[in-house]
Amino acid sequence: MKRSICRFVPVIILAVILSGSAAAQTFLFKNIPGERPQIGLRYLRPNFKADNEMSTFSGIYDVTLSLPINDRWSIDASLPYTRFSLGEDGDSESFIGNIYAGMQYISKAGNKNTIVSFGAYLPTAESDIEFFLYGILTNYEDMFKYYPDAWTLYGNFAYFNIEKGGARLGLEIGPDLLIPTGDADDDTEFLMHYGLTAGYQGERFMAAVELIGLAMITEDLDDFGDRFAHSISFGASYISPHFAPGVFYKLYLRDEFTDLVDGVLGVKLEVTL
């Protein structure tokens, strides 16, 4: 069944590209729901220090869906998909991560947006150590998407404000409860994610910097020996009423990651149907 889903992902991606359009409002923050259905695609490609000659389309893909129920509530879902191979002619491997399903509530006051999100990452990721390591080295702050044999209960509070001159400020913070399943001997772990963003957003253009962090509240999960991990991303997006492509670059701010990864290139596309 998972192989069938893997073959279906390129079809989803093509549908996204050929559809109408949306406003890419964030890079690595939780998406901001709109008044109409949105489909998103985000691609992350790590630049490892080791010369492993990854193929052109190797990387982590996230397909997201936001489906409004009314002017306040939306259904929120995402499908993580990883593909990597060594060299253009090498054997490729594809993996499905933990599918996310949740809800979002948005309250608007002028250009101020307050969003509350909650949901769960379902234990659909394959138990493959290469997939897991590739995922967390590329996108450590969202490690719940790649963690095998575990549920993760997710919550998030976000606030965004765009001033009349275009100044754009935002924050997010929320808890993550990782619960092992099956025969796993691991303990339930409690984590906290958080972030700050600043930049400029005009009618057709957005440029921003995002600082993202993940804190281990309990002790046993982080093998790197530190409770905190941070990264900084900077990039820009073109914005139209229906279509918003963007590009950004992420740098880790922790030695255990910078020793292995020079940075992560990100490309994001959001489409409003």
Domain enclosing residue 86, as ranges: 2-272
Q: What is the CB neighbour count within 10 angstroms for residue 15?
A: 13
CATH code of the domain containing 234 = 2.40.160.40
User: Under DSSP, is residue 230 helix (H, G, I), strand (E, B) or coil?
Assistant: strand
Q: Going residue by residue through the chain, which has 273 residues, state the pLDDT in tens, using 9 for 90 and above.
A: 444 444 444 443 443 333 333 344 789 999 889 889 999 999 999 998 876 677 778 899 999 999 999 999 999 999 999 988 765 565 678 899 999 999 999 999 888 899 999 999 999 998 888 889 899 999 999 999 999 999 999 999 999 998 888 899 999 999 999 999 876 567 889 999 999 999 998 888 999 999 999 998 886 544 555 789 999 999 999 988 888 999 999 999 998 899 999 999 999 999 988
Q: Which residues contact 64 (CB under 8 A, 6 or more apart)?
A: 31, 38, 39, 40, 41, 42, 76, 77, 78, 79
Annotate 75-142 with three-state secondary structure.
Answer: EEEEEEEEEECECCCCCCEEEECCCEEEEEEEEEECCEEEEEEEEEECCCCCCCHHHHHHHHHHCHHH
| Residues 60/142/231/158 CA torsion (nearest 10 deg) | 120
What pTM was estimated for this model as a whole? Answer: 0.85
How many structural domains are present in the chain? Answer: 1
